[in-house]
Chain A
Amino acid sequence: MSERTDLLLEIADDELFLGWRDSEWTGIAPFLEEDVALSSIAQNEIGHARALYELAAAELGTTADELAFDRRPEEYRCTSLVQLRRLEWARTIARRWLYETADEIRLGALKASDDLEIAGIAAKMDREEAYHRIHAEMWVDRLLATGEGRTRLDEAVDELWPYALGVLDDELRPELRARVEARLQRTLADVEPVPRGVHEVELAELWEEMTSVRRSAPAGAGW
């Protein structure tokens, strides 16, 4: 594993797990249109994961599917923020928004990479993430528009804040704090970030579900 494949797998795992978590709303989102939109966003994230796995797979001599589904739970590198199961709307929105804000900062740095393949895929992802950000920002505004919404968003952001900081490397965290504080017009707690590499209990649970078909048909499921 090179530093390059480490980086690719970190982001791919983030996108894969977030896609899976968001897809848990499919069929039960607050209303039909949002259900379809969020499911579509979830699929986009999994599409990003696939593109990143393919880049890593080319270097590692394996395939995207093997990277996505054949590793042990402890081998995944995704940040804790996307591992958590938070099937509650304000938390889902808070997570989406915090992740997309962090991801924009991360992609901004990657777009400037000397590695043209990485810079290229970052630019491509960013063009699609732009729509995810519009969606997340709309929901943040909707929640901020009422007292109850504001309270629920604030609670969710406070709960997820140490995890959100953990999405980014040290040097990019101040930028995330600045953006989130400016948007919410309040100061966030000075907390210890949950570092990448921590495996929440929910990771193994999701892994069980996510890989169940693959494990039941190791030779590949035929559809």
Chain B
Amino acid sequence: MPDLVFEVFRQERKGKPFEHAGSFRAPDERAAEIYAREFYDRRHESVRLWLVPRSAIHPLEDLPDEFDTSYRRVDGYSLKSRLREARERAGTLDSGSGGEAA
């Protein structure tokens, strides 16, 4: 009987991003609401749920990386040491505060 699949996104606290929590099958949206409450808020571990019929999801999977684009990522740079240098130049370096923003 259950013929729809719902993907569930869960928000743990107000202001936090929704995260994929799992999926389940249900015969319709009304049943889906009931099951979602039981599965993802049984211990009041969520403040909000998004129930998305899997059919509403538009997947993009063809994401080739023909040229190495890793240089575009920031994780190769140490922002911390650069910040430190910049602060030294500016004469605003003080011990133990700031500088961790990266």
Contact = CB atoms under 8 A, between A and B. Distances in A.
Contacts of B30: 138
B43 to A, nearest CB: 11
A30 B1 contact: yes
Interface string B72-93: 0000000000000000000000
Given A31-B1, A31-B2, A33-B25, A138 B39 contact: no
Contact of A134 (B26, B34, B39): B34
B1 A40 contact: no
Given A37-B35, A131-B37, 18 more contacts: A30-B1, A31-B25, A32-B24, A32-B25, A33-B2, A33-B24, A33-B25, A33-B31, A34-B35, A36-B35, A37-B38, A37-B39, A40-B38, A131-B34, A134-B34, A138-B30, A138-B34, A142-B27
Mostly, the A contact residues are: helix
Interface string B15-59: 000000000111100110111011100100000000000000000
A41 B38 CA distance: 8
A214 interface: no
A196 interface: no
B102 to A, nearest CB: 44
A36 B27 contact: no
Contacts of A37: 34-35, 38-39
B53 to A, nearest CB: 15
Contacts of A41: 38
Interface of A: 30-34, 36-37, 40-41, 131, 134-135, 138, 142
A141 to B, nearest CB: 8
Contacts of A32: 24-25
Contacts, number: 33
Interface residues of B, number: 15
Nearest to A38: B38
Contacts of A135: 34
Contacts of B42: 40
A37 B38 CA distance: 6
Contacts of A33: 2, 24-26, 31, 35, 39
Contacts of B1: 30-31
A37 B39 CA distance: 8
Nearest to A40: B38
A142 B34 CA distance: 14
A30 B37 CA distance: 19
B2 A138 contact: no
Nearest to B39: A36
B9 to A, nearest CB: 18
Contact of A138 (B25, B31, B37, B38): B31
Nearest to B31: A138
A131 B41 CA distance: 12
Contacts of A31: 1-2, 25
A138 B34 CA distance: 9
Contacts of A36: 35, 38-39
Nearest to B32: A33
